[in-house]
Structures are given as structure tokens and as C-alpha cells.
Amino acid sequence: MTKFLIETKGLIKQFKDFVPVRNLDLQVKKGEVYGFLGPNGAGKTTTIRMLLGLIKPTAGEVYIFGKPLAQNRIEILKKVGSMVESPSYYGHLTGFENLEVTGKLLGLEPGEIDRVLEIVRLTEWKDKQVRKYSLGMKQRLGIAQALLGRPELLILDEPTNGLDPAGIHEIRDLIISLPRQMNMTVLVSSHILSEIELVADRVGIIHMGKLLFQGGLQELRERSKARLRIDAQPLLEAGNYLLHEGYHVEKEETSLYIDAAAANAAKVNRKLVENGYEVSHISEDKKSLEDIFLRLTEEAKSL
């Protein structure tokens, strides 16, 4: 049996001359929060629509729960909840009534509606018309709708889009709680790395339809080598000295950068001073996850 709850193999979607998804191999493990990350227009929503059977791939395969989606669509989707882009709702109905519509279509008991309202913390406002809800409340109602029927897989497309910091915090806490509280796997897409970093166990980074990285956040961090930034005079001569000492040296503007960790700073500083160079600054220059993400996407543009 496959260890991946979602797996795509060579997934491609083409619209005439436009190819939003190119040979995508996603691998989402059971019970994790998988962050599907990429700039706007990277191909996230197109991929999600293929995972939900809303559009057909041009080529490639989608497997969910170890079964091909193309041959088992109805069986698979009974165990999947989703919110793609903005949630749909009837503004003149209350939150409870909106969920009741979906619940009746799914043949669910009324108690199921109260259960999901409690999970998304909307019980207090369940009898209020949805048009009077804040944007964050509407997003939570959309997630409640996706949770009806106790799905094993939840797919959320940009669930924090347009929310204020308080609303983002609420959605983030909710997403983190779902695998533990409901024994659920969550795939959540976003274009904001800092948000995904706070909720995801693993991430997939997509850009221009191509998967640039897939793995744990620590693995992504390890892609950034620690460097020392050195300001010394005379600069070029100091750089040549460090080259002679066996360091890889890069010059950027008025600073030198060498591949070395902070623990080596004192040693490097001492060597430079002892050999007559004036060191005015030395510090570790370690790229953040945001820097790594931006570098990956910038490199993809140039390919």
C-alpha cells in the first residue's frame, strides 16, 4: 500500500498554448499538513481543481487514498472536503441554514452541523445572516462546510486570502488543530511562506507550473549555507588573502562573503588582523526561508 494519501505522477494541464501545470509529482503523507506554496499564478489552483476532479489533466495521473481518481472519483470525493478560492454561501440565510442546505444534500443528521460550527467557533453566530459576517467568519463558515461528513482529506485553497491579522491567526490555529482533532490530512495552498511555515509539516513549492522543492522545512533551511560577511580594508587584497587560505570568496558591493559558519568568525577575524587587514565588520549571513523561496522562484524564471 502506498505511503502517500495524495500522489500525482507527471501531472500536466494545458489550455491551448498555456501550460499552468508541468509534470507535477506531488506526494502528501497521511495525517500531515502539507503546504502547497507558490506565487499567484504558479499553478496551485489548477492543480487543486485536478485533485478534486473539477478539471481533467491533459496528461499524468492523480492517486488519492492509493486509488486512481479517474476511475474512482465518486468513492474518493465522498471522503474529501474542500474550499477552493472564495467560499460560496447564501447571504440572506444564517450560518446554520447555509450548512443545513449542504447537510441535506449529503444526507447528514442535524447534529453534524452543530459539530462543525463548534469546531470553527461559529456556534455563537450560527443564527446570524451570513451577509453580516466578517470576512474571517465567512472563511470559517466555508471551512465548516468542507468539514461536513467527517472527510479524511481537507483541501483549502488560499484560506487566509484577504484576512486581517486576527482572522489569519484564527484560520491558522484551526488548520493546525485538524489532524490531531479529526485524524485528518490537510493540503493548504498559499503564496505567503511565513503563513505556511507556521502550519505545515512539509511543503511543496511550485512556480510556473513546476515543482521546485518538496520536503520538510528543515530540509529547505539546509539549502542555505551559512556565510560570513566581512568588511575589511583593503577589500580586494583581503579577498585574495582569504582565497589563498582556501575559502570560497564572493564580493558583493563593499563586502566579502565566505562559506563559513559563525563559529569561525573569531578565527577569520584574527587571521585578517594579524596579516595587516583592518576589519570593521564580521557577522553571519544566513538566508531566511523567505530568501530561499525567492531565490528558488527567481532561478526558475531564468531557466
pLDDT tens, position by position, 46-60? 999 999 999 999 999
State residue 279's pLDDT score: 95
Taking only the tens place, the pLDDT of each residue in 181-190 is: 888 999 999 9
Helix (H) or strand (E) holding 37: strand 33-37
Q: In terms of Cα–Cα distance, which of 55, 60, 49, 40 is closest to 208?
A: 40
Q: The pTM is what? A: 0.81
- Per the DSSP assignment, residues forming a β-bridge with 7 are 27, 63
Of residues 303 and 238, more confidently modeled: 238
- Is the pLDDT assigned to residue 303 strictly greater than 70? no
Determine the Cα–Cα distance for residues 259 and 226; give it in Å rounded to an integer.
6
CA 76, 81, 86, 89 torsion-angle sign: positive
pLDDT band at 224 (very low <50, low <70, confident <90, very high): low
pLDDT of residue 302: 52
Residue 193 confidence (pLDDT): 84
pLDDT tens for residues 125-140?
999 999 999 988 999 9
Average pLDDT, the chain: 90
Contact 197, 287 (CB under 8 A): no
The reported pLDDT for the residue numbered 300 is 60
Q: How confident is the model at residue 154 (pLDDT cuts 50, 70, 90)?
A: very high
**Closest by alpha carbon to 186, among 169, 168, 174?**
174
Residue 266's contacts (CB-CB under 8 Å, 6 or more residues apart) are none
Q: Express as a percent the part of the chain with pLDDT over 90.
A: 67
Quick: pLDDT tens for 227-261.
899 999 999 999 999 999 999 898 988 999 988 77
- pLDDT value for 294: 75
